[in-house]
Amino acid sequence: MIKLFRIDHRLLHGQVAFSWTKSIGADCILVADDEATTNSLKMTTLRLAKPQGVKLVVKSIDDSIKALQSGVTDKYKLFIVTGSVADAKRICDAVPEIKSINLGGIKNREGARQVSQAIFLLPEEEDELHELAANGVELEIRQVPTEKKELYK
């Protein structure tokens, strides 16, 4: 069961990993990120950020989609993290059971518009998010679970 699907360019990191994992009762974290599967430094960093007693799985976007569609992840209380709006959209388009996305952190880049303290969106990302919202996906902005939920519009 998917407990939380989060977009965060930092993927899994420190207090956010611990606070979200504990808050939602996750027993498995799926990091869906093409680069992390081939970058040993990124993989090591992810392993260090993982809370003790929680399973960590790092898969490419395509392999993440296959795992979610196959039902192999159904036995877990799953926390999914991906690094970009485009990757989140690919996953949501393929896995229609996902009805909510937590926007946690999207770094500032040239041409991006700041929509919250830690969310900077390019025009094409805003289009992708609006398309997800039109398809019934709730988009919420929250860094940590103790913050008030704010809906992205």
pLDDT, one tens digit per residue, over 23-74 is 999 999 999 999 999 999 999 999 999 999 999 999 999 999 999 999 999 9
- CATH for 56: 3.40.35.10
Please give the residue range of the domain that contains residue 143.
Answer: 2-151
HSE-up of 10 (CA within 13 Å, CB side)?
A: 15
Helix (H, G, I), strand (E, B) or coil at 58: strand
HSE-up of 85 (CA within 13 Å, CB side)?
A: 22
pLDDT, one tens digit per residue, over 124-137 is 999 999 999 999 99
How confident is residue 86, by pLDDT bands cut at 50, 70 and 90? very high
DSSP letter, residue 65 = H
Query: Which two three-digit tokens encode residue 78?
Result: 């799953």
Residue with tokens 């003790």: 52
pLDDT at 16 over 90: no
Give me the active site residues, please.
Answer: 13
Could you tell me the pTM of the whole model? Answer: 0.95
CA 38/CA 43 separation, integer angstroms = 8
**Count of structural domains, the chain:** 1
